[in-house]
Amino acid sequence: MARCCATWRVPTTKRRRETRTRKIQKARSALESPWSCEAEGVLEAWKTNREKGLDSDEAKRRRKTFGANELPPEPKDPLWKLFLDEFDDLLVRILLAAAAVDTVLAYSEGENSYTEPIVILLILFLNAGIGVYQKQKAEDALEALQTLQTTTARVVRDGELVSKLPATELVPGDVVRLTVGERVPADCRLVELDTAIMVVEQSALTGESEGVEKDVKPVEEDADITAKECMLFASTAVVKGSGTVVVTATGMKTEIGNIQAAISRAGREEVVTPLQESLNQFGTVLAQGIGVICLLVWLINYKYYLIFQDGGVSIHLDNAIYYFKVAIALAVAAIPEGLPAVITTSLALGTGRMAQKNAIIRNLPSVETLGCTNVICSDKTGTLTTNQMSASRIYVLENTNSLKKIGVTGSSYDPTDGAVLLEPSEMVHLLNLRALAGVANSCNEARIEYKNGRFRAIGTPTEAALKILAEKIGAPGTDLQQEREKSKEGSPSELVACSFLSSKLRRRAILEFDRDRKSMSVLCEGVLPGLFMSNDGGVITPILNETREDTGPLGEADQSGGTLDAPWSHYLLAKGAPDELVARCSRALLPDGNVVPLTDALREEISKALVDMSADGLRNIALAVRVDGLEDFVGYDGSQEHPASSKLMNQENYATIESDMIFLGIVGIKDPPRVEVAAAVKDCQNAGIRLFVITGDNKLTAESICRSIDVFGPTENLDRKSIVGRDFMNLNEKERLEFVSGSGSRVFSRAEPVHKQEIVKLLQKSGNVVAMTGDGVNDAPALKMADIGVAMGISGTEVAKGAADMVLADDNFSTIVAAVAEGRGIYQNMQSFIRYLISSNIGEVLGIFITSGLGMPSMFSPVQLLWVNLVTDGPPATALSFNPAEPGLMKLKPRRRSDSFVNKETLARYLTVGGYMGIACAFVFVGWYVWPDNPLFVSGLQHDGHDTVTFYEITNWAKCSSSISTDGRWADFAGGQYVDATGKLYDFTGSSACNYLEDGRAKASTLALSVLVCSELFNSFNALSERSSILSVKPWSNKWLLASVLGALGLHVSILYIPPLTRVFGTVPLSGHEWVTVLALSAPILLVEEAMKFIVRRKD
């Protein structure tokens, strides 16, 4: 017996263990995937119930476990860190090192002047301050995200309904009541519907243009977000119906929390813009070149500071320090200190121009990034389309054998935008169309609101579209135009025709939509235009007879609609899915008001019309009316005592009530493309830019819209160009990469946020420069990740705007094309002023390299070079930002991300132009000492009466009066004198004779500096065009450049003639003869660049 019991208990224990395991797995599934479990299972898993909810103590415990229902702000870097980050640049670090060394040398030598390091540091600090300001201004995306969160919620706690519980206090397991107009406070599982249907607007999260019907039934565990019909997500809005939900996720665990996390990751993984990439590459090459040149200059002059004597080596410290200073001067000369400021100014100017074109730039480098964008990933809803559902086609009976197709124009909720494509006189006599307008208006719960100069829908977009259609059809018999004009002056939101139609019908009951019968209807009494008319005797008679003669002629009284008191004027107005609604119709209304049987032939014609509209991606709505068999509902006022109450309370009766109806017509509705989008798409294609349409809508609708705006041809095969987001993610990475690669556009339907990010990532991996447009919360991570994020300013959420680099103030896709053109023009101008600045810097470096390499005194001081690079070079370089774009710029292919500012051709131009500048500066510097009467100086340099020296003396100046002078050539050196343009005498004779070659070089240095400045100013006119001659692109074509050249020349003259400035910069005033020489040596730079342009044109 014991053995028997034992053998009996073993399987029992095993079954219990298996049962317990199944329960645990079921509970875990309900917690982790609530959409895949029955509502009761979810409630049980969270240990709550729909009547009592959680008790307060349990809610407090869960609050400690799960935290507050809010999105925490992203931690920000302190200002000091942002400031230090601005110095994380190779060229900036070189300048900092130069300033530090200069300071140490000035201190060690007991000098009191720290001008050079102070100037360098001031410039660097100013640029850093500007950078910090831009960053602080731009980072507001995550804060904006929190504005979408609900503030309060109606929650069941301790068996009572708390009407205004702060949404931050919600915890998983809370039971929440939701109704029309409320935002969903957290991610929730629908438990119970209080109405026949609940519709939630979640386009900002999923991109779907239509509201989503919710149901309590579970779905597959691996369903995507758009298929989770039993789930309501945080920050979406209920637009129809009401129900009870249980909270399943709060805070960062919600879908919107996942989006914030994605934004944060995208921010941390933010890609370098093509401009920054080019500048970084350019800076690295420049820094390497600077290092080599500086070291080379210091080493080749070793004989002046290394003394080889008696088999040993000693160092002449003063000379070693001097040549170290020369190396620092070379570093300062080589680095275009003004380049960051000029680029920032150029981008800011471009930003201003774009703002005038309704493109608001939040991140300066994005201006230039647009110029090399070769892929635009665009959301469909609200970007390519208006996100305002509109009727575009109507089918009504034309006769007993066929349907009449009627077009409707318009793309917004503005009733004056578009019209029904019929003559008014024809519309009056289409009684079935007039009846359809009455049903569209009254079997409708939406309303149109006019706010801040725009019309917007309150309610579902489909019903709003029907409302606007009714207004466009109008109410014959009213002076609509006159009434509408009055409405514009007073209340533009008033729909005159709809108001008239509504005044003729009184709604008594609503038979709400449900999934089974796929329709909704309203019981009304009154007068429905088109179905009833009054004859001359004023007696109202239904137009339901077999012949027109019985009803009398149609007169003015017909259009008044009769009165609301007619005892027989009861209707059931219905709309719904055509396949279901048409099946419950037995008759149809003809244009003349006669009612005829709905034959099989007519049903076939209706089916053909539905196929026609579905092929164009339209959403089809059928409208019908029932006028007889409604006696039971006469006098119904909503009271339970009325005999009809029991029928109306039971939804199973609705299909029976909606039977034996009269078919009125079918309306095709769509989210229409923006009028200007097709032209903008063509411009993008001409510019070599691919368009990727990424939407949450279904595949057929997405393809239809793409064809309508010429993204694809009418008959183009889309097998390799159109894909559902989920199918795309099921491909392996190689297949996904192949799909996005190649030429032509692509369309992705039913896309989720993660799909958009993957697409952007793959495109960037392939070397593309990606712009992502969007307006919803779901777009924010991809906007942040893309090279340039473009948000819609009007329809866009604050989240999208905050994550974007550019905001379109007019929501106009064509504005992107204008911005791309502006970006290309800005890059072209950047090339111009970089070519101008770098060739100028090469001239400075080469001049110093020549003189120092030959053993001459330093031709320029670091302060002089800083002045040239920042003050005299800066204004012309900035003015080049105003150069007009060259013709045909938008017909060129986008430049590649890998393209750098400097290639072999541009380097050759830099070296040629800069080489001439450097040689001219060195020539005038040496010439003043050695050959003042050289004919190349035109007017000559001997007019100041200075003493000349030999070439040996100027190239071996460091040996003068030094311990390493052993050849005896300096014994008779007497120095020299000269006078400046003001008559001041500079005497370097006697004991200070050797200073004639060092401190006395001020005149020669001033001449060289003036040649350098004037050459650069002439060279700025060369930069007006990369290819065109200065004879065709006149200097005055850019008035800003002309003014800046004159201003820069004036600034240079000021440091030559104003005493305090002459002391700071080590300059002396020049005479008229000397200015002639300066101009004679500077002007040929125009000819040098003209020769280079000629070579470029010949090569092309």
Task: Please identify every residue annotated as catalytic.
Answer: 379
For β-strands 175-178 and 187-193, DSSP reports them as unpaired
C-alpha distances in Å from residue 573, one per residue of 104, 506, 581? 92, 12, 11
CA distance 823 to 817: 10
| Three-class secondary structure of residue 735 per DSSP | helix
| Three-class secondary structure of residue 719 per DSSP | coil
Side chain identity at 972, as an amino acid letter? D
Q: Give the rounded distance of the alpha carbon of 534 from its chain centre.
A: 59
526 phi, psi to nearest 5 deg: 140, -135
The Cα angle at residue 118 between residues 112 and 124, in degrees rounded to 5:
165
| Three-class secondary structure of residue 823 per DSSP | helix
Neighbours of 658 (CB within 10 A): 22
CA distance 859 to 843: 12
CA distance 521 to 475: 21
The residues pairing with 723 across neighbouring beta strands, listed in sequence order, are 748
C-alpha distances in Å from residue 890, one per residue of 478, 681, 1082? 52, 13, 36
Q: Is 470 within 8 Å of 501 (Cβ atoms)?
A: yes
Q: Give the rounded distance of the alpha carbon of 664 from its chain centre.
A: 45
In 515-630, DSSP assigns E strands to 519-526, 532-534, 540-542, 570-576, 585-589, 595-597, 619-626
- In the structure encoding, which two tokens stand for residue 828, read together? 């072209």
Strand (E) or helix (H) holding 878: helix 874-879
CA distance 147 to 73: 12
Q: Is 1023 within 8 Å of 1091 (Cβ atoms)?
A: no
Q: At what angle are helices 274-300 and 317-334 packed, to 10 degrees?
A: 160
Q: At what angle are helices 1085-1099 and 1002-1022 packed, to 10 degrees?
A: 30
Strand (E) or helix (H) holding 726: helix 725-730
Q: Is 1014 within 8 Å of 1078 (Cβ atoms)?
A: yes
CA distance 390 to 667: 10
Taking alpha carbons only, the member of 834, 824, 831 closest to residue 888 is 824
- In the structure encoding, which two tokens stand for residue 940, read together? 């000559």
CA distance 269 to 1051: 45
Q: Is 39 within 8 Å of 189 (Cβ atoms)?
A: yes
CA distance 671 to 413: 11
C-alpha distances in Å from residue 947, one per residue of 852, 932, 1010? 22, 10, 21
The residues pairing with 747 across neighbouring beta strands, listed in sequence order, are 693, 722
C-alpha distances in Å from residue 961, one per residue of 964, 966, 967, 991? 8, 10, 12, 10
- In the structure encoding, which two tokens stand for residue 429, read together? 């006599």
Q: Compute the chain's Rg from CA coordinates.
A: 41
Neighbours of 633 (CB within 10 A): 21
- In the structure encoding, which two tokens stand for residue 726, read together? 């989920």
Buried b (16+ CB within 10 A) or exposed e, 5-20: eeeeeeeeeeeeeeee
The residues pairing with 623 across neighbouring beta strands, listed in sequence order, are 575, 665
- In the structure encoding, which two tokens stand for residue 356, read together? 């005038």
* Cα distance between the two ends of the chain: 105
